Amino acid sequence: MAAAALPAAAVVDPDPAICRLPWCRVILVEPRDARNVGMVARACANFGVSDLAVVHAGKLQAALDRAGRSPEKARQLGFSDAPSEAVPNAELHCALDVSAWKGVERLATGEGGVVLQSARLYGGLRAALAGTGRSVAFSGREGRNFRQASVSLRALACDMGVSASAAVTRALEALEAHPPQRVALVFGSEDVGLSTEAVLMCDDVCRLRTADCPSLNLSHTVAVVLARVHEEVSEAEGFSGPAVAPAAGQPAAVAKRSSAPLPAEDVRQGREADAAAEASEVGVQVPAAWTSGWSELCRRQFEAQGYPTQAELWNGRGRRKCKFTYRLFRIVADCARSLQRARVTEHEATAWAKLVEALSTRSTAIGPDASAETVAAETADSEGGDSDGHA
């Protein structure tokens, strides 16, 4: 069953006196409580986010079943034709059916209800990330078995503020030629958070700093993040906000400095210059999320060799079903995290993919008793004539 195409997000705000975040997408992965979805929708409305996506395989299957029984319901959910088994559910999406989420509208209030009307329901995270230029996973998990935080909330908000200011500058010159980059903020379920494979799909990981109680409610987490980003973007775009009165004994210049906009254009130009210099030295770096595809490549190659690495077992919850598969999954996940920290280039990422393919497809063809000439010939064939000497 195909779904209707997503409407293009508005880039120019109709009310320039209000700071909004039209290029920001909030993604909730497998939320358990519909009330949290409603409160997240309200938080999105509070801070100018109109793009809300919910990833829930069970809810999508239920929506498909309802759409198959009723053409009217299929039309409401945005399905354009009859169900088809050719497309996996993980790649499908439809409108969020609020009737299937008890209490979601009541806690969303009127403003959040507008966000719910345009919210989308996805069968998989990879489909929800489509069309985004950067994705950030919010996870509180720590330890050597988990991917470490790569960006702080403060740094993320500053980056988004600089990007927003640059987008406004470009919009005045040539908006259509330089569309703003859409940023996905990914949050996990209330009980277990984001899975290991979900975190690997994202470019960055952010962990909120807390005191004695490290666990935050899902809707509270989204509100904290959006509030920080909205404040940074407001200052970068020149929204003055309420006046800040100087405290007792505080010079007026200090109070004024707290509400002054950031020198966004200078910061952006400096970062672009640094990135260009780094790219000229080490090559173009690929987003950290490339390791998700590399991990899937490892899984397929293991499965082709007869290992029990089916997709339904290849996740952090697979230890209860097959401990051997879970150990393989942990090994590949550890390797993927180390590659993410290395920030490899395009050429290096391709080399790692070739290595996995060569180890799984060429090892039996060459054999342990192969001569040095045979090994060299097979290696040359696998590299496709590439003789630049890089490994």
What pLDDT score does 189 carry?
92
Whether 261 is covered by a domain: the verdict is no
> Is there a single domain that holds both residue 207 and residue 71?
yes
Whether 59 is covered by a domain: the verdict is yes
> Is there a single domain that holds both residue 44 and residue 185?
yes
Residue 134 belongs to what domain range? 24-162+178-237
CATH number at residue 206: 3.40.1280.10
> Is there a single domain that holds both residue 301 and residue 152?
no
Query: What rounded mean pLDDT belongs to the chain?
Result: 74
> CA distances (Å), 242 to each of 223, 245, 257, 339, in order?
20, 9, 13, 45
Whether 115 is covered by a domain: the verdict is yes
- Whole-model pTM: value is 0.66
Whether 250 is covered by a domain: the verdict is no
Q: Does the pLDDT value for residue 51 go beyond 70?
A: yes
> Is there a single domain that holds both residue 89 and residue 154?
yes
What pLDDT score does 258 carry?
42
Q: In b/e form, how buried is each residue of 71-89, taking b as 16+ CB within 10 angstroms?
A: eebbebbbbeeeeeeeeeb
Whether 143 is covered by a domain: the verdict is yes
Whether 64 is covered by a domain: the verdict is yes
Whether 389 is covered by a domain: the verdict is no
- Looking at the structure of the chain, the number of domains it has is 2
> Is there a single domain that holds both residue 211 and residue 316?
no
Q: How far is Cα 56 from Cα 295, in angstroms, rounded to an integer?
A: 22
pLDDT digits (tens, 9 = 90+) for 263-318: 444 444 554 554 454 444 445 666 667 777 888 888 888 888 888 888 777 776 66
* 148-152, 211-215, 278-282, range with the lowest pLDDT: 278-282
What pLDDT score does 7 carry?
40
What value does the mean pLDDT take over residues 244-267? 45
Q: How far is Cα 292 from Cα 97, in angstroms, rounded to an integer?
A: 30
What pLDDT score does 285 carry?
64
pLDDT band at 259 (very low <50, low <70, confident <90, very high): very low
What pLDDT score does 295 carry?
83
> Is there a single domain that holds both residue 198 and residue 341?
no
pLDDT digits (tens, 9 = 90+) for 109-132: 888 999 999 999 999 998 999 888
* Residue 305: strand, helix, or coil: coil
Whether 1 is covered by a domain: the verdict is no
> Is there a single domain that holds both residue 39 and residue 143?
yes
